[in-house]
Each structure stands twice: as C-alpha cells, then as structure tokens.
C-alpha cells in the first residue's frame, strides 16, 4: 500500500474536483480543504479494497458528506451566548476552621495530600487510589494515616461538646 501510484494518480486527477465539492458542502475554502484531507486519509486507509471498484471518488464524496454532517451536528449542539452571565458568582470565604484545614492540607507532602483528596473528595477506595497514583494499596493506607496524623497534630483540638459535634 505504501507508495501506490494509483492512489497518487487518483489524487492528482480528482483532487481539484473534490476540493470544489468540499467548497460547495462547507461554504468556505478552509473547511473544504479539511474535508478533502480527512476524506483522502480515510480513502488511503481503504484503498486496497476500493481500488478494485470502479469509483473511489464516490467513496471520497460520501465520506466528505458524512464528515461535514458530523461537524454540523456537533456545532448545532453548541449553545453560543453573546450575553455575559447576569452576575458574578463568588464562593463565600471559608470560615476560620475551614481556612485552617485548607492551610494544613496544603502543608502536607504531595503524595499524602493526593491520597486524602482522592479518598475524601473524590470518594475513591484504596485500590482506586493506588491505581491512580501508581502505588500499592499498603502505601495508600500508610500515606493516609501519616497525613491524618499530621492534620490532627497541626489543628487545635477542641473538647467534644454537644454544640461542636458535627
């Protein structure tokens, strides 16, 4: 298939006609060139089957039409908004306890912080965390234990009273 002169001849003979067809489909020369290029790539992949048939141009045109329709469908789903959202959304500032917790979390080593975020924020189990980070499950458990110990040591402890139990 590499260097098949019949494919090169086909492109040389019918390339301009395909480009004109692409222009009619897309309405501009840039998208037309993209359609032709994509169709010729697909045609090149199927050339060994299609060269025995009488009309590979039909395959190329059909491919171009399908590619154009697929692109059109994707663009149709986009919702373009010219107006900005009505108001800016601002997250409330974290309370003192939350701020201290985020600072303590930021102070952890990267692997420990990643383990805690994946466990408590992403709700992953130890096996999933191990797969994401490329470490063993035992390492996940030890890193989590060390991280929690550091967090407990760094945050002031409050006596357990009925008012502050969450």
Domains observed in the chain: 5-76 (1.10.1740), 96-154 (1.10.10.10)
Q: What is the pTM of this model?
A: 0.44
Which pair of tokens denotes residue 54? Answer: 């009488």
Which residue did the predictor score with more confidence, 30 or 25? 30
Name the percent of the chain lying above pLDDT 90. 23
Q: How distant, in Å, are the alpha carbons of 7, 45, 124 from that of 2? A: 10, 10, 48
pLDDT of residue 45: 87
Average pLDDT over residues 90-116: 77
More confident residue, 37 or 73: 37
DSSP tally for the chain: helices H, then strands E: 7, 0
User: Is the model's pLDDT at 98 over the cut of 80?
Assistant: no
Predicted local distance difference test score (pLDDT) of residue 160? 45
Closest listed residue to residue 39, CA positions, set 18, 60, 25, 21: 60
């Amino acid at each position: 298939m590499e260097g098949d002169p019949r494919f090169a001849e086909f492109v040389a003979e019918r390339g301009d006609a395909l480009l004109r067809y692409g222009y009619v489909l897309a309405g501009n020369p840039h998208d037309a060139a993209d359609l032709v290029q994509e169709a010729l790539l697909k045609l090149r992949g199927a050339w060994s089957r299609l060269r025995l048939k009488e009309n590979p141009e039909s395959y190329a045109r059909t491919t171009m039409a399908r590619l154009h329709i697929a692109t059109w469908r994707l663009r149709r789903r986009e919702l373009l908004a010219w107006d900005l959202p009505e108001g800016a959304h601002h997250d409330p500032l974290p309370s003192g306890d939350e701020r201290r917790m985020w600072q303590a979390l930021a102070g952890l080593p990267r692997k420990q912080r990643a383990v805690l975020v994946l466990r408590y924020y992403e709700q992953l189990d130890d096996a999933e965390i191990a797969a994401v980070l490329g470490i063993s499950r035992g390492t996940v458990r030890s890193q989590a234990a060390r991280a929690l110990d550091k967090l407990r040591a760094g945050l002031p402890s409050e006596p357990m009273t009925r008012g502050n139990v969450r």
